Amino acid sequence: MIQLAFAGHNRANDLGHHEPVTEGLDAAFRLIREAGVEQARLLTGLAPGADELAAEAWRLAQLGPIHAVFPFLDDPEGQAAELRGVQSATWLDGAAAEALGRNPHLKQTRLVVEAADLLVVVWTGERARGAGGTADAVRCALETGLSVLWVKPSDSPRLRLIRPEKLPSDFDFLEFQEGLGAGNLSHVEEATEANVREALNLEALAAAEAADAVDRQARAAGDKSTRLDAWLHGWLWKTYGAFRTLMGGRVTGMAAAHPVPEDLAEQGGFQLLTAAYMSADQHANRLSAVHRSEQILLLLAMVTAAIVGSAWTIWPGFKITAVFIELMLGLAALWVWSSAARARQHERWGEERHLAEQLRLIRACWPLGVSLVSTRTPPIVRQALEPEQAILRKAGLPHGKFDEFRVTSWGRWALSELVEGQAAYHLAVSKREGRIAHRIHVAENAAFVFLLALFASYLVAHALSHPLGLHVPHWISGVVAMAGTVVPAFAAATMALEAKLEFKEQSARSERIGQRLQGLAAQLGPSPSLDDLQGAARAAMRWHLAETSHWRDGAGRRQLFRP
């Protein structure tokens, strides 16, 4: 569902007569409908003045529900929210924000703007008289990549559109306002159906929803897949998991997950995000199991082919059979590689894991009112947040009051999901991946030493056999020849394994992010405020996003080893 934020003046001298403003709002919502929006949610502070006029115009336009966001727990406007046609509401603890030197109205503005797909404003174009006003809403929108549909009270019902992607790369809001004051509207365009549709990115949204529907159908079909698929996942695709446990041991040192607070679990938006995350995570894990197991199996096939192909040096009569087995192994390996390459399996795995991680972060930060948008560095292009943004649209904002109990309860869970639990996880994974990398390196060295020792022993035995009148058995020569083939193949397999699965690099990255998260947790103290929790969430999200983006960008390196 599309989400539209609204901000507008509440002072009579700014707002002027209500009739022109109402005409402008009616025109704005009519244009949004004509652009192709059939159902949307209005996010508003519902303050006296323009907010009330916008809510009334929205109800008349019949575009969808209204979600109100109030800056104080005891906000007088919020006490009668249900009686004013509001379907849902969020109350922020403005008193706690003021105690920390923060402005409750600015926090309200940021929450509304960051969750929206378009900001509709009733704005004179003048500078703000205080933090959190209409001008600040416009500034926050433009700095976070959100287009602004502008209703100017003195020029209503004319509509203008301000699009952040068309602003200068070194955009400065004060400079922008000075230009507006001087009558320079070069960065503002007349609002039309076409540019509003582009600003809302409706074509991409429709394509994303269609792709999501196809993906859901494919996953549903996958859940009802053939017995063969279920059978393979029951044992063959567990190959990598078995290898990882054998070489690196089990992950230890992680505390049990913090239980989800009951009132959070009851939130419809949280349930939707949880379902989306669990689905994406399950799909990513299945792709991971298949791709990584295929990598191990291909390397095992390579070593096996070397063993079989050189076995005839010991048993000459085995030569034809060995060639046949090698041919079968080669064809099977080629089929596995080509089918994975055609399906671009490594890229699909990377994208699905990236989506799952994005959804995990969104789910963990949603209870704190923190979005992915707030972690970006301007200039931001909102379209890049699909399909995560599409899921977040449906979830909307958390309902209810962010009182001390909720902040403590939800904050403790979010902190566990984002910081404490992830710190323990990454440090444990770092140890396991490090052990795997070390043991692979030891195996490489041991194989090299074994081969040199075998060659040296064979040469010594051969040199002494003639003076002593002895004869080196044929099978010993065969073993030496076989080792000369198998050991280099084994060494090549271990090097390919490290190059493709990057155990050493992953160990170092996990250790760095784990230590960062540990430091972040230590800075918070025993009783962090909502402001502290939001700051920690944004910092943790940036690190997690950097990690998952780095991992996704390296998808090309994880393409299956070509036989």
pLDDT confidence tier of residue 34, bands split at 50, 70 and 90 = very high
Strand partners, 151: 122, 159
pLDDT of residue 260: 95
Count CB-CB contacts under 10 A for residue 21. 24
Q: Is the peptide bond between 563 and the residue preceding it cis, with omega within 30 degrees of 0?
A: no
DSSP states along 158-190:
-EEEE-GGGS-TT--HHHHHHHHHTT--TT-EE
DSSP string for 228-250: HHHHHHHTGGGHHHHHHHHHH--
State how far the alpha carbon of 531 is from the alpha carbons of 112, 116, 368, 398, 551, in Å: 16, 21, 9, 17, 30
DSSP symbol at 203:
H
Q: Is 15 left (phi over 0), alpha (psi -120 to 50) or beta?
A: alpha
Least confident span in 65-74, 226-235, 264-273: 226-235
Residue 433 CA to residue 420 CA, distance in Å, equals: 20
Widest Cα–Cα separation across the chain: 118
Q: Count CB atoms within 10 A of the CB of residue 169.
A: 6
- In sequence order, what are the residues at sequence separation of 6 or more whose Cβ sits closer than 8 angstroms to the Cβ of residue 546? none
Give the per-residue pLDDT at 562. Answer: 61
Whether the predicted pLDDT of 50 surpasses 60:
yes
Are the beta carbons of 103 and 97 closer than 8 angstroms? yes
pLDDT tens for 301-359 read 999 999 999 998 899 888 899 999 999 999 998 988 888 888 788 888 888 888 899 99
- β-pairing, 66-70 vs 40-44, is parallel
Two tokens at 194?
């076409």
Q: What is the pLDDT of residue 412?
A: 93
> pLDDT tens digit string along 366-398?
999 998 877 765 545 555 446 677 788 889 999
Yes or no: say if 23 and 55 are a contact pair by the CB < 8 Å rule.
Answer: no
| Average pLDDT, integer, range 531-543 | 92
In order of 289, 355, 372, the CA distances from 284 in angstroms are 9, 9, 21
**What confidence category does residue 125 fall into, taking pLDDT thresholds of 50, 70 and 90?**
confident
Pair 288, 349: CB distance under 8 Å: yes
Residue spans of alpha helices (H) in 115-172: 134-143
Phi-psi category of 217—alpha, beta or left, where left has phi over 0 and alpha has psi -120 to 50? Answer: alpha
- Residue 226, pLDDT > 70, answer no
Mean pLDDT of 540-562: 80
Distant-in-sequence, close-in-space partners of 274: CB < 8 Å, separation ≥ 6:
363
pLDDT attached to residue 234: 85
pLDDT at position 270 is 96
Rg (CA), the chain: 31
Does residue 375 contact residue 545 with C-beta atoms inside 8 Å?
Answer: yes
pTM for the full predicted model: 0.87
DSSP class of residue 47 equals: -
pLDDT number for residue 394: 87
**Average confidence (pLDDT) over 265-271:** 95
221 pLDDT above the threshold of 60? no
Distances from the Cα of 424 to the Cα of 257, 359, 360, angstroms? 11, 20, 17
Gap between the Cα atoms of 407 and 23, Å rounded: 41
- Cα separation of 368 and 534, whole Å? 6
Residue 161 neighbours by CB under 8 Å, 6+ apart: 147, 148, 149, 150, 188, 189, 190, 191, 192, 195, 196, 199
Percent of the chain with pLDDT over 90: 55
Between CA 320 and CA 331 the distance in angstroms is 17
Distances from the Cα of 9 to the Cαs of 3, 52, 173, in angstroms? Answer: 20, 10, 19
Question: How far is it, in rounded angstroms, from Cα 244 to Cα 432?
Answer: 8
* pLDDT of res. 384: 45
Pair of tokens at residue 125: 């174009």
- Buried-exposed string 307-332: b where 16+ CB fall within 10 A, e elsewhere: bbbbbbbeeeeeeeebeebbeebeee
Q: Phi and psi of 307, rounded to 5°?
A: -65, -50
Q: Is 470 exposed, middle or buried (0-12, 13-18, 19+ CB in 10 A)?
A: exposed
pLDDT in tens, 56-111: 999 999 999 999 999 999 876 656 655 567 889 999 999 999 998 999 999 999 99
- Other CB atoms within 10 A of residue 469 CB: 6
Q: What is the mean pLDDT of the chain?
A: 87
